Chain A
């Protein structure tokens, strides 16, 4: 592998990693507060991409407006899921996971009759390539990085600098104590669902012009996000960011050298090995 190819793979890796980070952040946030894993995250990613297809491509609305529509629509959907699935189950972790799993398979399967059997394509939003340190990278892939960075910084500021963010951190530390201090746990959990769903929708919306669209498209990013949060430690936001970057780089560089399937198998073996020696992940605290 030449230096130029390596650099190119690395930049693409950061761009893919940014998508993974957006997926993993929502998962880890929801895990930290509610101790659940949102299996529906991949389906939400898929829906985010389809919003871009219908609103931007079919509807002719400007891309960034469609992007916001995807985030708002699916964020609202996230709040609804908290209201109608998570809340009625009253904290039973196992039934909640299974219900979210059922929601996933429902959204995926319903995608076929609703969106049609054929793969959909969204035309490129940003044309052309840019020369970075001597290698050519498509602007489409490059644009993912700043957009994701803005969302990540926004989330960081929200969690650390606002009252609602403080409420989220309080629930993460101790739900009962937070409730006693007057935090409306239901509403704040709903907000976490909304944020997680909106970030997954953003990831899907960013990838829509790059990959083909089909109802199962969220499966791969979801599995990648699982690997990232195990790697970074469940519930850890810095872990999700670092893990996302690492997996993006591994994915891009190993995939360029050996192919996409070995890259995935390698990351799985790596995770199993990591669980043997550092069960809580890189940044996780003891369960």
Chain B
């Protein structure tokens, strides 16, 4: 666990550095905008993971947000604030429909249903050609706008995603620190014990999952208006696994884990982006982390120094049985 005083300092320094990125030029703006998108995705998976639910289909909800927002803006000229919200809400509603039957059961049912759901959404996007243009890809998506002003330049779009990330992280952090977050944690640690104390575990798991779907939709909507081209295979199984990898490699014991994981892995894998070696790199990082550093990267300084984060870091990351 980070010491209280250091957390805000680290955050302010990180944010300050993030604001300076546009000085580096367009290439880095592009790379870092995607890093921030990945941070939103990774952090939004955390509530579900905290409840001990392995969601291996997060990219499906990103896809829903992306297509909804893109189509609303493209065909009906809906402003970005509204189209983003609609995308996120649709992702939430679909998440509720799929999650409701699956979350009442053991974790593995949910994991399998989410994996299959990625394929379902990818197929729908691919075969509903009149709406999505199928596998030819959806192009001509308008640039994002804010309060009626189009964000035409790359730096302005970059600041938009930084803003979205800050808001998302703030909300998720408040949730985690709230009574609700504690309840989720108790479900993840021992769901039968939580149930015996009167916690409605199915409802809480569903809520945590829906929160995650909402922010995955937000990330997808930004992605759609930033890249301005959507292609169903981009939202496949591999993206979903990457989001999971950010969480596990970063570390599940603390809120900053997925953020660290997303930044670290997105930047390190940048040289191989789009090739098979990207996936090879991710999977090896994942296997090595699980086998040799079960708490993730955030426990590494503690393990190395053995002083500052000491005991909390060396304690095994609690993993729910179920």
| Interface residue ranges, A against B (CB under 8 Å) | 31, 35-37, 39, 85, 88-89, 91-95, 97-99, 101-106, 108-113, 219, 223, 226-227, 229-230, 234, 261, 264-265, 268, 271-273, 275-276, 279-280, 287
Contact of A109 among B111, B115, B116, B283 (CB under 8 A): B283
Q: How far is the CA of A91 from the CA of B294 in the complex (A)?
A: 13
Contact of B248 among A98, A226, A227, A234 (CB under 8 A): A98
Task: From known contacts A101-B241, A106-B284, infer whether A223 and B119 are also in contact, taking CB-CB under 8 Å.
Answer: yes
Residue of A nearest to B247 (CB): A98
Chain A residues lying within 8 Å of B238, measured Cβ to Cβ, are 105
Task: From known contacts A234-B109, A275-B105, infer whether A92 and B287 are also in contact, taking CB-CB under 8 Å.
Answer: no
Residue of B nearest to A36 (CB): B108
The secondary-structure label for the interface of chain B is: helix
The verdict on B117 contacting chain A, using a C-beta distance below 8 Å, is: yes
Chain A residues lying within 8 Å of B54, measured Cβ to Cβ, are 94, 97-98
Residue of B nearest to A89 (CB): B290
Contact of A99 among B115, B237, B282, B290 (CB under 8 A): B290
Residue of A nearest to B126 (CB): A261
Whether B108 pairs with A234 at a CB distance below 8 angstroms is: yes
Whether A94 pairs with B102 at a CB distance below 8 angstroms is: no
- List 7 A–B pairs whose Cβ atoms lie within 8 Å, in order of A's numbering: A31-B108, A94-B107, A102-B287, A106-B280, A234-B108, A275-B113, A279-B105
Whether A94 pairs with B101 at a CB distance below 8 angstroms is: no
B232-254 near A? 1/0 per residue, CB < 8 Å: 00000110010011001000000
B93-106 near A? 1/0 per residue, CB < 8 Å: 00000101110111
Known: A37-B111, A97-B111. 7 other contacts (CB 8 A): A89-B291, A98-B290, A104-B283, A109-B278, A264-B119, A265-B124, A268-B116
User: How many Å from the CB of A101 to the closest CB on chain B?
Assistant: 6
Contact of B319 among A95, A105, A265 (CB under 8 A): A95
Task: From known contacts A94-B320, A265-B120, A268-B116, infer whether A99 and B291 are also in contact, taking CB-CB under 8 Å.
Answer: yes
Task: From known contacts A92-B319, A109-B276, A223-B115, infer whether A279 and B282 are also in contact, taking CB-CB under 8 Å.
Answer: no
Contact of B98 among A95, A105, A223, A272 (CB under 8 A): A272
Chain B residues lying within 8 Å of A234, measured Cβ to Cβ, are 106, 108-109
Q: How far is the CA of A227 from the CA of B117 in the complex (A)?
A: 11
Whether B109 pairs with A109 at a CB distance below 8 angstroms is: no
Q: How far is the CA of A108 from the CA of B279 in the complex (A)?
A: 9
Task: From known contacts A89-B290, A95-B290, A97-B54, infer whether A110 and B248 are also in contact, taking CB-CB under 8 Å.
Answer: no
Whether B113 pairs with A272 at a CB distance below 8 angstroms is: yes
The 10 closest A-B pairs by CB, nearest first: A109-B279, A106-B283, A102-B286, A275-B101, A112-B276, A226-B112, A102-B283, A105-B283, A109-B276, A92-B319
The verdict on B268 contacting chain A, using a C-beta distance below 8 Å, is: no
Chain B residues lying within 8 Å of A85, measured Cβ to Cβ, are 287, 291
Whether B283 pairs with A103 at a CB distance below 8 angstroms is: yes
User: How many Å from the CB of B101 to the closest CB on chain A?
Assistant: 4
The verdict on B321 contacting chain A, using a C-beta distance below 8 Å, is: yes
Counting chain B CB atoms within 10 Å of each CB, which of A92, A94, A234, A287 scores highest? Answer: A94
The verdict on B127 contacting chain A, using a C-beta distance below 8 Å, is: yes
Chain A residues lying within 8 Å of B280, measured Cβ to Cβ, are 106, 109-110
User: How many Å from the CB of B169 to the closest CB on chain A?
Assistant: 23
Residue of B nearest to A281 (CB): B109
Task: From known contacts A223-B115, A226-B116, infer whether A93 and B279 are also in contact, taking CB-CB under 8 Å.
Answer: no
Chain A residues lying within 8 Å of B237, measured Cβ to Cβ, are 219
Residue of B nearest to A274 (CB): B101
Q: How far is the CA of A275 from the CA of B104 in the complex (A)?
A: 9
